[in-house]
Amino acid sequence: MSDISDWFQTIPVFTRYWFGSTIALTLIGRFGIVSPNSLILLYEPFLKKFQIWRPLTALLYYPLSPQTGFHFLINLYFLYNYSKRLEEDHFTGRPADYLFMLLFNWTCCVIAGLVIGMPLLMDAMILSVLYVWCQLNKDTIVTFWFGTRFKAMYLPWVLFAFNMILNGMGLTELIGIIIGHLYFFLKFKYPQELGGPVLLNTPFLFKQWFPDRIGGVHTFGAAPRRPQSATPRGNRNTQGGGFLGRRNWGQGHVLGGE
C-alpha cells in the first residue's frame, strides 16, 4: 500500500485528481452507494430539475459489469498515460493552462452530450486529450495492434476506424476528435499558422490560483523534434488497448494504444 501511495503521489496534480476521482466514483456507483442513474448526464434532470452535479459525475463515472470491466481499465490506462504526458511535458510549469484545456474540452463534451443524448462523457473526454497529445507529437511513431506502426497524428483516426469496423459505431470517438481538434485549432493552429488572434486565453483568475512555475515551458505549438536514434516516447506496447470489448451505448469507446 505504501508503494501504491508513493506512486499515486508522483502523478501530476490534475491527472491525479481526475484519475483518482474516476476510480472512486465508479466504485461508488458499482456498489450501489449512490444510484448510477443519478450520476449520468440526462437533459431533463440537469436543466429542468437543476441537478447540476450530473455533468461532472458523467465525466467520472463508468458503469462496471463483466462486459465493460476491461474497457474501463483500458480507459484508466489511457487517461493516466496521455493526461500525464501532456501535463508533465507540454504544460509543465503551467498548471493553469492545463486546467483550462481540461475545462474547455469538458464543457464541449457536456454540450455535445446534451445535444445528442450521450449520458457518459469519459470516452469522448479521454479521446479529446489523446487528440491534443497526438497533434503536439504528430511525428512520433506509435505502435498499435499486431505491431503496426504509424505517426501519432493518425492514431485518433485509426481508433475511430477500428470502432466503426468492430462495433458499427463511432459517434463518441468522432465527438472526442472534433473537440480535441477545436481546442488545438483555436489555441495553436489559428494564431500561429494562420495569423489570427489568440481566442483561448487562460483566465487570469486561474493564473492566480495556479501560478506558473519558474522553469516551465512557455511556448509549445508544434511536435517536439526527437533524435532519430532515440526510442520515441510514444512507442510503447498497446496490445491491451483499443476499442475491443465495447458495449453498445451512446457514450462511446475506449482509446487505442500507442
Q: Is 244 domain-assigned?
A: no
> By residue range, what is the domain housing residue 146?
2-209
Q: Is 226 domain-assigned?
A: no
Residue ranges of the chain whose pLDDT lies below 70 = 1, 167-168, 214-258
pLDDT at position 238, please? 37
Q: Is 190 domain-assigned?
A: yes
**CA 85 to CA 83: how far, in whole Å?**
5
pLDDT at position 246, please? 40
The phi, psi pair for 141, rounded to 5°, reads -85, 125
Nearest to 41 by CA among 28, 60, 18, 65: 60
**CA 46 to CA 221: how far, in whole Å?**
36
Per-residue model confidence as pLDDT tens digits over 172-221:
989 999 999 999 999 998 888 888 888 899 999 999 999 998 654 433 33
Q: Model's pTM, two decimal places?
A: 0.79
Q: Is 16 domain-assigned?
A: yes
Q: Is 215 domain-assigned?
A: no
The count of domains in the chain is 1
- Ramachandran area for residue 212 (φ above 0: left; ψ -120 to 50: alpha; else beta): beta
pLDDT at position 109, please? 97
Q: What is the CATH number of the domain that holds 45?
A: 1.20.1540.10
Calculate the alpha carbon distances from 117 to 43, 69, 71, 129, 166 in Å. 8, 23, 21, 21, 22
pLDDT at position 75, please? 84
Q: Is 256 domain-assigned?
A: no
pLDDT at position 44, please? 92
Q: Is 86 domain-assigned?
A: yes
Residues contacting 256, CB < 8 A, separation 6+ = 78, 144, 145, 155, 158, 159, 162, 238, 241, 242, 243
**CA 93 to CA 109: how far, in whole Å?**
26
Q: Is 218 domain-assigned?
A: no
**CA 16 to CA 5: how far, in whole Å?**
11
